[in-house]
Amino acid sequence: MGCDSGPHGLRPGSRNPGVVKVAKSAPINKTNALTLASVAVLVGTELIGAGGAAGWAIGGLLQLGDTLTHLLEGVFILCALSGLFFFLRAALAHEPIRG
């Protein structure tokens, strides 16, 4: 602890020890929240379906067998989920739910 801190990490002379100020949260914009939820379902379904189909098609074309084909499908689906995460993060930046 620094020299200006008291025994509990508080500066001497602070008015309300133990009281933490929290920023006020804005109400949820239901239109934006519904739009983002709908986009998440639509884009997520498309990406996961495309990832599974791509793994199945590549596994079938290269005759990799069931185990490797399922593994390839899983890899493509994980890539699709990470793409969905980054897409929704960008969508939240452009259309915030709060405010």
Q: Is residue 11 part of a domain?
A: no
Q: What residues make up the domain containing 35?
A: 30-94
Q: What pLDDT score was predicted for residue 10?
A: 54
Q: Is residue 22 part of a domain?
A: no
**Which pTM was predicted?**
0.70
Contact 48, 80 (CB under 8 A): yes
Whether the predicted pLDDT of 5 surpasses 70 = no
Domain count, the chain: 1
Q: Is residue 25 part of a domain?
A: no
pLDDT tens track for 45-92: 999 999 999 999 999 999 999 999 999 999 999 999 999 999 999 999
Which of 13-17, 21-25, 91-95 shows the lowest mean pLDDT across its residues? 13-17
Q: What pLDDT score was predicted for residue 51?
A: 97
Q: Is residue 5 part of a domain?
A: no
Q: Is residue 99 part of a domain?
A: no
Token pair for 5: 């801190």
Beta partners for 98? 28
Measured distance CA(72)–CA(97) in Å, rounded: 36
